[in-house]
Amino acid sequence: MRILSQLASYIFHPIFVPLAGTVSYFLITPKYTTLEMRSGNILPVFILTIIIPILSFFILKNLGIVGSIFLEKTEERKYPLMISLILLFMILLKVIPDNYNVELYFFFLGLIAASSTCLLLLYIPFKTSLHMMGMGSILMYLIALSFHFERNIVMAISLMFFASGLVASSRLYLKAHTRTELLIGFLVGAVSQLLTLKFWL
């Protein structure tokens, strides 16, 4: 059970959420998109939200600011979240305008709102589950895309519900979070995406 919990924590790590949302959009959208447009979004998102954060993590770890990739202590989360917010703003301001997709624009705006909320809650201090924030964001985004494009993706949405439950159970089993931290994390992610829907749905 411990191995399964750790595996779920790695596979559904919040670092993959921006890329997962971007790829999901291009898989679901019925709009014609060229290979150049897809690569113009996916490649920069991959570099800015996965490669750079991983390099930043090793730098922060060598400086003694963070201990593990799961950022177990509340104080360890501030700098990674700040770096994440800067990179998300770069995507919003520099990447998406070059290959504009309104659905992706508001997805990243929702991620910025969710990450900002998690950062602010650290000053209470409250350690929001970033894993569940990511799961809530992706789940709400898939539901919105399904309505927006009138596509039947019930299987994908069902799998995300299952994955959300698996991640929550895994984080509880590993004693990484309390039930409240998991619930708040999920709600922060889902509500942040929900609030953007009136602008594009």
The encoded tokens of residue 44 equal: 């920069």
Please report, for the chain, the start and end positions of each structural domain, with discontinuous segments joined by +.
Answer: 2-200
pLDDT at 31: 85
DSSP 29-97: --S---HHHHHHHHHHHHIIIIIHHHHHHHHHHHTTS-SSTT--SGGGGHHHHHHHHHHHHHIIIIIGG
Q: Round to whole Å and give the CA distance between 140 and 137.
A: 5
DSSP 126-166: ----HHHHHHHHHHHHHHHHHHHHT---HHHHHHHHHHHHH
pLDDT at 65: 87
pLDDT at 155: 94
Close Cβ partners of 163 (under 8 Å, ≥ 6 residues apart): 8, 12, 135
Q: Round to whole Å and give the CA distance between 129 and 43.
A: 27
Query: pLDDT in tens for each of the 201 residues of the chain?
Result: 778 888 988 999 999 999 999 999 999 998 888 888 888 889 999 999 999 999 999 999 898 888 877 777 888 899 999 999 999 999 999 888 766 788 999 999 999 999 999 999 999 989 999 999 999 999 999 999 999 998 899 999 999 999 999 999 999 998 888 999 999 999 999 999 999 998 887
Largest CA distance in the chain: 49
User: Distances in Å between the alpha carbon of 72 and those of 75, 131, 151?
Assistant: 9, 12, 39
Close Cβ partners of 134 (under 8 Å, ≥ 6 residues apart): 12, 13, 14, 16, 17, 189
pLDDT at 188: 97
pLDDT at 46: 96
pLDDT at 99: 61
Burial profile 152-182: b = 16 or more Cβ within 10 angstroms, e = fewer: ebeebbeebeebbebbbebbbebebbeeebb
174, 123 contact by CB (below 8 A): no
**Residue 22 dihedral angles phi and psi, to the nearest 5°:** -65, -45
